[in-house]
Amino acid sequence: MCRSKKTNQDIFLLQLHVFWGEECRMEAVHTEGILMAETLQQMTSSYEKFWLVVTHIGDPKAAFLLVFPFTYFISRPAGVTVVWVAAISEWLNLVFKWMLFGERPFWWIGESGLFVNKQPNVRQFSSTCETGPGSPSGHAMVTAAVWWIVVSSLGSYLYSRTRSMLLSAAPFLLYVVLLVAVGISRIFILAHFPHQVIAGSITGFILGVILSRTAPERRPLLFFFSFSIGLLLSALMLHTGLQQLGIDLSWSIHLAKKWCSHGEWIRLDTAPFSSLTRDCGALLGLGLAQYWKPGGWSLPWAPRALSLAISSMGLYHVNRLPLPVRPQGLFYGLFFVKFVIVPQIVIVLVPGLVHLFTNKKKKD
C-alpha cells in the first residue's frame, strides 16, 4: 500500500496541528481545574483552617519531621524505611517537575490571558506560592509513598494479632482518605491542578510499594554517603544539561514571584534546590545515625513515648531555626546540615539520653 509523499511544509503543518491540539487540551484541563478550585473555595470556605492543616501534613518535609519520629518509635525498621522512601520519592518528584514543566493555578490564571474579562473568584494563601513547577504534586507523591509504609506496616501488624481482614484493611481506608484530603487541600489553595494531584498520588503509591522492599537498614556509612552525593551530583548534572539545551529551569520561580499576591509568601525553602538538599542531607544523616548506633536503643514503651515527645519538640525547634537567605549557597548548605541533624536527634541523641536517665533512675 503506497503512502502519499509529504513535503516539509506538510510535516510542519502536521506538527503545528498536533502542538496546538495538545495546547488546547491542556488549556481545557487547566480551565476545569480553576473552576474546581473556585467551587471548592466557595463551598468549603468554612473548612479553610482544616485544609491548611492538611496541606501542612502533606508537606514533604513533614515526612522527615513528623512521620519519621512517630513511626521510628513504634517500629525501627519502618522508621528507617520512611526516611529512605521520603528522600527518594521527593528527589524523583524534583526530576519529574524539571522534565514536565507543569503550571501552577495561581500563576496560570494570569499568564493564560483567559480571565481578562471575568476573573475567577479565588484567593491565595500563605502556602500557595511554591516556586517549583507543578507536575506532579510533590505533596501528593511523597504522602502517598511515605504513608504507604505506615499503613502497610500497621495493616500487617493488625492482621498478625487479630487475623481479621476487616480490621487490617482499616489503615488502607484511612490511607485513601488521607490522599484525597491532601489532594483537595492542594487544589483548594491554588497550588496544583487536579490532574497533577492524581498523577502524584498514583506515582507515589507505586514508589511506596517498590521502595519499601529496598530499605537500606544497617547499611555501611559509605553506602549512604555515596548515595547522598550521587543524588546531589546527578540532579546538578541534569540541571546543567537542561540549561545547556537552552531550557530555563528558573521559569517557575519568575512566575511565582510575578503572580504571588504577597511577596513574603515566597520562601526559599520551597525552591527546587531546597528539596534536593533536604533529601541528600536526610540520607546522609540516616547513615551517620546508624553508624553511631547500628542497632538503635532498646527501650520499653514508656521511654519510647517519652523519646517521641522530646524528639518532636527538638525537631520543631530545629525546623524553626532561621537561616540566612543570602548568599543562597550558604542557605542551601545550612539547610543540608539541618536535615543531617534530624536522624541524629531521633535515632541517637534523644533515645540515648532517655536510656541513660531511665537506667540511672532504676539503679538509684
Instruction: Provide the CA 38 distance to its chain's centre, in angstroms.
Output: 25
At 235 the three-state DSSP class reads helix
Does residue 104 have a known ligand-binding role? yes
Which is the catalytic residue, given 17, 30, 56, 192?
A: 192
Q: How many Å apart are CA 11 and CA 6, to the nearest integer?
A: 7
254 neighbors 261 (Cβ within 8 angstroms): no
- Annotated catalytic, 17? no
Provide DSSP, 255-322.
Answer: HHHHH-S-GGG--GGGSHHHHHHHHHHHHHHHHHHHHHSTT-----HHHHHHHHHHHHHHHHHHHH--
Whole-angstrom distance, CA of residue 215 vs CA of residue 224: 12
Q: Which residue has the cell 551517620?
A: 288
Q: In angstroms, what CA-CA distances link 246 with 22, 94, 98, 101, 242? A: 22, 19, 13, 14, 7
Q: Is 320 annotated as a binding residue?
A: no
Name residue, grid cell 484525597.
Answer: 180
Q: Which grid cell sits at 172? A: 488502607
Q: Are 197 and 137 in contact (CB under 8 A)?
A: yes
Residue type, 52: L
- Can you tell me the distance from the alpha carbon of 216 to that of 30, in angstroms, rounded to the nearest whole number? 40
C-alpha cell read off for 345: 536527634
C-alpha separations of 217 from 81, 164, 226, 352 in Å: 8, 30, 15, 19
Displacement of CA 51 from its chain's centroid (Å): 17
192 has catalytic annotation: yes
- Say which amino acid occupies 221: L
Extended strands (E) in the chain = none
d(CA 112, CA 110): 6
Residues contributing to the annotated binding site: 104, 186
Q: Which residues are tagged catalytic?
A: 139, 192
